[in-house]
Structures are given as structure tokens and as C-alpha cells.
Amino acid sequence: MRKSLFRFFLVLAALMAPLMSAQPALAGQLGHETAFCEVVDKPTYLCTAYVYNFPGGTMSIDADTCCSVGTSHWYLFEKSWRRCEQEFRTEAPAQSWTCSNLPANNYKLQALITQPTQHADNKWVSIGLRW
């Protein structure tokens, strides 16, 4: 009786070990998506990044631009609903913002660079999402 009880607990411990060790790794997983876009000289320019299967909660939005001056805007869409948005200066250093209480779904981040100025260097936009 003792041997079979010992074997039962030994088998149970062996079966539960992978579950116990995998749980902290799953809890700590993070996601991110980034888009890097070169700006052309048009009155407006759009850069887009997509996130699929966002688990819900808080998302951080990152934006950085080079070699342009003016006001720009980013929008975070869930389907066709605008969930979060922010105006920012394109000449400012890299910036981050957060959007909270987002439901689990697919998302699209768009940065609208308005009236990029003529500049000798290449103009670019980098936008990203982190969670």
C-alpha cells in the first residue's frame, strides 16, 4: 500500500512539474509591434503598425521622428473605433504614452505626420506598441 501511494505521488509530482515551472514564464510574457516608415514630402504622411490578439489591459505607445518640424498625431484603433489618440511635436525627442482599460482584440496604430518640412536628411517615423 505504501509503495503504491508513494508511486502515485511521484507520478503526480512529475506531471505537475512542467505546469508549475511554465506558469511564471507565461505570466511575464510581453508583446510589442513596431513600424519604421520613411516620410515622403507630401502634405501629410501616414505610418501604421498592427497588433493582433492583444490580451487586453494597458498598452504603451511610442513615437519618434527625425528631420521634420511640426505637429503630428497618433491614433489607436480597435476595429473602426478610436480608443486613444495624442498630438505630439515631430521635432521632440522620442516619447511614450499609455492607453488603459483596452479590451482584448486586434489594434491598429497610425501616426499622421502633417506637412513634413523640406530637409536635407532622410525623414522617418518610428511608432510602436508595447504591453
- Give per-residue pLDDT as tens, 23-69: 343 444 589 999 998 866 666 778 999 999 999 999 999 999 887 77
**pTM of this structure:** 0.72
- Give per-residue pLDDT as tens, 101-122: 999 999 999 998 876 666 656 6
**CATH H superfamily, domain 32-130:** Galactose-binding domain-like (2.60.120.260)
Cα gap 33→49, rounded to integer Å: 7
Three-state secondary structure readout of 98-117: EEEEECCEEEEEEEEEECCC
Residue 23 is placed in which grid cell?
506558469
**Helix (H/G/I), strand (E/B), else coil: 101:** strand
What integer pLDDT is reported at residue 22 of this predicted model?
Answer: 37
Cα gap 96→74, rounded to integer Å: 11
Domain boundaries, the chain: 32-130
- Whether residue 78 contacts residue 105, with contact meaning beta carbons closer than 8 Å, is answered with yes
What integer pLDDT is reported at residue 69 of this predicted model?
Answer: 79
- Whether residue 75 contacts residue 112, with contact meaning beta carbons closer than 8 Å, is answered with yes
